[in-house]
Amino acid sequence: MRHPEREELFHAYSLTVPATAAHVRAAFPDVFHTEEGGIGELVALAQLLQVSERGGHPELTPHLVRRAEQLTGIPVPMPPAATA
């Protein structure tokens, strides 16, 4: 399994500020505009969604879900802890 790079994790954490997230994507085109980078971004999102299932980062969870849906085109269920 591919492990996300720090840029992909930084981007995931920046999703609450869309302008910052867009800046991160633009600053690292070799990461975010490649197939491997897309996979790494999905892994980072999945890791943080797993944390959110345990109650971590509730403010970030809807942004993680939205980005995962943008990348995959598939609806992503909101973790139960985020809707409680």
Both tokens of 4, joined, read 């996300």
Query: Do 12 and 45 form a contact (C-beta atoms < 8 A)?
Result: yes
To the nearest whole percent, how much of the chain has pLDDT over 90?
A: 60
Per residue in 30-54, pLDDT tens?
Answer: 888 888 888 889 999 999 999 998 9
pTM listed for this prediction: 0.86
Residues, the chain: 84
Contacts of 10 (CB under 8 A, 6+ apart): 24
Q: How many CB atoms lie within 10 A of CB 77?
A: 9
Q: Find the DSSP H helices in 1-84.
A: 6-13, 18-27, 29-32, 35-53, 61-72, 80-83
